[in-house]
Amino acid sequence: MQAHRMKAIVAKNGSLTIESLPFPAGESVEVLVFPANDPKPQENRYPLRGTPIQFDSPTQPVADQNWEMLS
């Protein structure tokens, strides 16, 4: 038995129509339906991308108090 892969889109009413099948009219066939392996849109991996950034005192050292030598 040879399988035939076809892609189709489900209609709004939930029905599915597949045309141009490579089988003669009247032949019995088995139908299995799986969702397509199309890549699904991923969640927003970078939710902060494009948000404005404000730097308060950008030239000041960071975490001075954590350095024993400077105390």
Q: How far apart are CA 62 and CA 70, in angstroms?
A: 12
pLDDT confidence of residue 26: 92
**Which pLDDT score, from 0 to 100, does residue 71 have?**
56
pLDDT at residue 11 in the model: 92
Q: Would the CA dihedral through 16, 22, 25, 30 be positive or negative?
A: negative
Contact, 43 vs 49, CB < 8 A?
no
Question: Residues 31, 23: contact at Cβ < 8 Å?
Answer: no
Task: State residue 13's pLDDT score.
Answer: 95
What is the domain partition of the chain in residue ranges? 1-33
pLDDT of residue 55: 86
pLDDT along the chain (71 residues), means of 10: 84 91 90 81 83 86 72 56
Q: Is the dihedral of CA 35, 25, 23, 27 positive or negative?
A: positive
What per-residue confidence (pLDDT) applies to 21? 87
User: Strand ranges (DSSP E) for the chain?
Assistant: none
